[in-house]
Structure 1
């Protein structure tokens, strides 16, 4: 019997080395970030905080300053995270990096998880009512079956 592996690296042997969390400024994503930070601290893992900047071709075609707006959101998120990290210095140490990717949230997080070699992915539950029927980014990540996914309410 031949065993097939779809991944290059083995998970679960020494604990996660990289925990990726998706952040967009929503309440659930900020709770997910706090949860992931606690996991990363306890596991002595790197916390990779990822903001996926939406690409809105239609908005750009209409002259909307989409890129400037999403850049400002990314800068505000980094500032918030830095301030929170500074407040916690001396209480506990946390290794973290902030990354931005462009695209839709699902594909952006998949690309980030692959490039950053994430061992686990943490996301906030969708706050949009329609996602209960259509499917959220979290559900798509779980269905991808490539990493353990934690969904924080």
Structure 2
């Protein structure tokens, strides 16, 4: 076997037998929760791991003014985990979905990219942006699609 073929056989291969890991970004917004529900259905049907990712924003301006930013984002993460656990408990006899919750710090785009890379995601699911300014500047979803590294599903 040549060195090239040997190297290729040890590389991570995405999407050959369906997704094994589906990353979904959640931030508590309605569209992100719809995205989580959609991704949960995909994960169930594909028997994939659902990696629920919350990116804790780093708000330098708020921290500089003495605002307890880290405490607030930790509270949001804990509330999201509780909400996901409640939803999972309600449907556990109907749906069986393996899931994990991950938090990253930073801006949403870079946090989701890091999560998808670290978790070797086969697909990424996000909610459509609910902010009007993103139509001009570009939303996280658009940036993920343009990155072209994973199939990206944007849930309205």
TM tier, smaller? over 0.9
2:122 corresponds to 1:144: no
- CA deviation profile, 1:18-75 (whole Å, cap 9, x unmatched): 0000000000000000000000000000000000000011111110010000000000
Deviation, 1:17, is 0.3
Q: Which residue number in structure 2 is paired with residue 75 of structure 1? A: 78
SS at match of 2:129: coil
In the TM superposition, residue 130 of structure 1 has moved relative to its aligned partner by 1.2
Distance 1:11 1:105 in 2: 23
Distance of 2:137 and 2:103 partners within structure 1: 26
| Aligned: 1:87 with 2:94 | no
Aligned to 2:53: 50
Displacement of 1:11: 2.3
Q: Residue 131 of structure 1 corresponds to which residue in structure 2?
A: 134
| TM-score, structure 1 as length reference | 0.94
Q: Distance in 2 between matches of 1:65 and 1:87?
A: 33
| C-alpha separation in 2, matches of 1:129 and 1:61 | 27
In 2, the alpha carbon distance for the partners of 1:72 and 1:130 equals 26
Alpha-carbon RMSD: 1.0
Equivalent in the alignment of 1:111: 114
- Cα offset, 1:12, TM superposition: 2.4
* Residues in 2 aligned to 1:13 and 1:120: alpha-carbon distance in whole angstroms: 12
TM-score (normalised: structure 2): 0.92
Residue 89 of structure 1, CA deviation: 0.9
Q: Distance in 1 between matches of 2:15 and 2:81?
A: 30
How many residues are matched?
147
Deviation string for 1:89-124 (max 9, x for gaps)?
111101000000000000000000000111000000
Aligned match of 1:122: 125
Q: For structure 1, which runs of at least 5 residues remain unmatched after alignment?
A: none
